[in-house]
Structure 1
Amino acid sequence: MTEEVCPGDGGCSQGFQGGTLTGRAATGVTVSYYQPGEYQRVINKRNPLSPIDYMPSDTVNVAGHPLRYQAALAFWRFVDAAAASGVATTVVSGFRSYASQASLFQNYVAIYGQEQADTISARPGYSEHQSGLAVDIGNPSAVCGLQECFASTAAGQFAAAHAHEFGFVIRYPAGMSYWTGYAYEPWHLRYVGRDVAMDMRNRGVSTLEQYYGYPPAPTY
């Protein structure tokens, strides 16, 4: 993204998409990753929301589910584009408060036990839904709702092929639980903005952890 700069201190640096490389004879090459912005915050088992009971102030109603305003605008465009392609989508879940997430998580613990619950649901304060930037989508028929087979439905296929064009990423992709800490969720879209979503797609980077140079977050 920038020309190489060598200021005379024995090292040279150059800006790339995602960060800066700096090379020095004594220390080798180091990477400084660009920090995520407001809409790109990395929320996972090692990075809770701050404050822990965070509640966004700019949510709007999207089919009965709150989303932050910018995410809602992008999602409406996504829905319109899907409809123009003959694909109908529904909203299953959007923003959840700290208290709502706590109740949901404890319900999963009661059903599946703590270990399995931690792979399919976030603890309160650690959920992307609490940020107001995540939306779970489904089909009007409810076929494969919140199941891995959603990926094979028309809505799931449209999301996989086009979500990045509207600023969304499939936050918990297949085979990446080591990085994200969660099982595959083809229905869970996270708004990060079009520039970042397109760049991740073009570079073949599938998780925010890898994109921003965060360590894997398989556990709390």
Structure 2
Amino acid sequence: MKRKRSKSTAALLLTGLVFIVAACGDKQATPPEDSAGSDKPAVAAPGGAGTDPNPTQSPKVPELTGSPNPPKTTDPATSTGNGTGTGTGNGTDKPGGNNAAGDKGSAGNGDPKAVLVVAKPADVAVLVNKTYRLPDNYKPTDLVEPDIPFIFKEKSDKRLMRKEAAGALEKLVAAAKKDSVSLAGVSGFRTQATQKTLFDNYVKKDGEEAARKYSAVPGHSEHQTGLAMDISGSDGKCAASDCFANTKEAKWLAKNAAEHGFIIRYPKGKESITGYQYEPWHLRYVGTKIAKEITDKGITLEEYMQSANAVQAAK
């Protein structure tokens, strides 16, 4: 009897042990989940989503488009290279100023046109402005000093003019004196180097945009032709200043300059054509015939050249 009970007890113990082992095996049936901080990437499925044995707990993987490692690109809006888009190609797209037609400069009131070098700088009617420039370091060969008063005493190139223009200026000053108007020279011939120094100083003082309204870029100055002279009253008051416009000297010049072959080169109201502000003191010699036509019609040298269908030879 005791022997049978021992066998029964052993059988019960064996059955319990099998049950415990089976239960422990069930806990290891499911593989461990990838934690949120795992370095192991999700596998991309054909639809773009990652493979996930338990999608309710695994983080979503963004859909990939294009190359998995796309090259670094430059924002086209700020690009200055040669790419496409809204970049500006070779640098700035600053409007206006001397970089509107590449490095060739601008004309008139900032319209993009190529700067041309005049082929006949010694021509009395030569047009020199923001479009037409003189050959580098051009200097007339017939410069002389007109026999007129000047507002300064020192000997200087700014006393000089070309011979024909100097003779005409002497007659103009003499005629003014007969009308009790005393005139004096302020500034005549100017080398390209001198013009560069002046222009650079004006840029430092007022900025380039403002300087270009009253001063010529080197090579574009009428003073370099030897055909221009700035004039004032003999006392020097209002010399090359806005107040000169209201003087009796300025009024006499406006009325009589053409009789002697001179024009007021930069007249009032023509700034958009000449590219410069009104300068009632700036006389330019062009010869009596042309001067009278320009003055009678109230036009500029630019407009005269256009109306006469004159094509200035340029290199």
Match of 2:213 in 1: 119
Provide the rounded CA distance (Å) in 2 between the counterparts of 1:116 and 1:110: 10
Distance 1:108 1:36, change over 3 A: closer
Q: Is the 8 A contact 1:36 1:212 kept in 2?
A: no
Q: Is the 8 A contact 1:39 1:192 kept in 2?
A: yes
Match of 1:185 in 2: 279
Shift, 1:105, TM fit = 0.6
1:210 to 277, 291, 303: 303
Shift, 1:93, TM fit = 0.1
1:58 to 134, 139, 142: 142
Equivalences for residues 128-147 of structure 1 within 5 A: 128-147=222-241
Ranges of 4+ aligned residues in structure 1 off by more than 6 Å: none
Amino acid in structure 2 at the alignment position of 1:106: D
Q: Is the 8 A contact 1:82 1:158 kept in 2?
A: yes
TM-score of the superposed pair, with normalisation by structure 1: 0.77
Match of 2:168 in 1: 74
Q: Is the 8 A contact 1:168 1:191 kept in 2?
A: yes
1:99 to 193, 196, 212: 193
Shift, 1:61, TM fit = 1.0
- TM-superposition CA deviations, 1:7-47 (whole Å, max 9, x none): xxxxxxxxxxxxxxxxxxxxxxxxxxxx9981011100000
Q: CA RMSD in A?
A: 1.7
Larger strand share, 1 or 2: 1
Match of 1:108 in 2: 202
SS at match of 1:91: strand
How many residue pairs get aligned? The number is 178
Identical-residue share of aligned pairs (%): 44
Match of 2:243 in 1: 149
TM-score of the superposed pair, with normalisation by structure 2: 0.54
Amino acid in structure 2 at the alignment position of 1:59: L
Q: Which has the higher contact order (CA 8 A, sep 6+)?
A: 1
SS at match of 2:204: helix
Equivalences for residues 28-67 of structure 1 within 5 A: 38-49=123-134, 51-62=135-146, 63=150, 65-67=159-161
> Structure 2 stretches of 5 or more lacking a match?
1-119, 308-315
Greater mean alpha carbon deviation, residues 204-213 or residues 73-82? 204-213
Provide the rounded CA distance (Å) in 1 between the counterparts of 2:124 and 2:271: 22
